[in-house]
Amino acid sequence: MTAAGRPVLPGNLRTPALVAVALATVVFAVLGAHYAGDSGYGRLDGHAETLVDDAAGSHVSLLQRLTLFGSPPLVVVAAFVLCGICLALGRRRLAAVAIVGPGLTGLATTFLKPAIGRTMEFGGYAYPSGHTGGATSIALVVALLLVSLVRPGRTTGIALVVTIALVAGGTIGAGMVATGAHYPTDTVGGFCVAVATVLGSALLLERLAGWWHARRA
């Protein structure tokens, strides 16, 4: 197989990715339905924020600076940089995902906020967190690129993708919560949007590529 034809997701990771997309969609929908039109802390938010505050301690200022990595301008720049890297390495399908995945994540978090209508106590739409979604989407593309380069086994590949996504999404999400910019469940929603859009676009691209090759054959 040529470098250009290398899959975004190895065959042994496609079923786990499909499960992750389905689970993320369900969690997002359940939380969105529960907090639609709400403006305040839920029971989960109160407990989660206490844990975040205890863990952050005196590092709130550091977390606040790290949240910049989830800001739209930096996510856009990172997406195009990753696209260029993927093209240079001959991963054309993954280069497309590097743009489409974060792009769809940004659009989804932007337009779903007013649709769901959850607001912060001081105003402004809250669910889902765009910063968390943006950072997670970039992290997932990085993880997919590493999997493509290293070609680990199924268990190692899953662990690599999950770890990178959780570290990036968890760090930015914790920063958003610690600085009072979002409720904890907002960050979970943003994380779920990124998982569903990035892995979903990767799976869809693989399906389309398979259909195209079959048609040409």
| Alpha carbon distance 10, 151 (integer Å) | 8
Domain assignment present for 97: yes
Domain around 122: 65-208
Domain assignment present for 73: yes
Domain assignment present for 133: yes
Question: pLDDT (tens digit, 9 = 90+) per residue, 42-98?
Answer: 778 877 877 877 776 677 788 888 888 999 999 999 999 999 999 999 999 999 999
Q: Cβ(89)–Cβ(81) under 8 Å? A: no
- Report the domain count for the chain: 1
Domain assignment present for 24: no
CB burial readout 142-170, b (16+ within 10 A) else e: bbbbebbeeebeeeebbebbeebbeebbb
This prediction has a pTM of 0.91
Question: pLDDT (tens digit, 9 = 90+) per residue, 113-167?
Answer: 999 999 987 778 999 999 999 999 999 999 999 999 999 899 999 999 999 999 9
Domain assignment present for 111: yes
Domain assignment present for 29: no
Domain assignment present for 9: no
Domain assignment present for 26: no
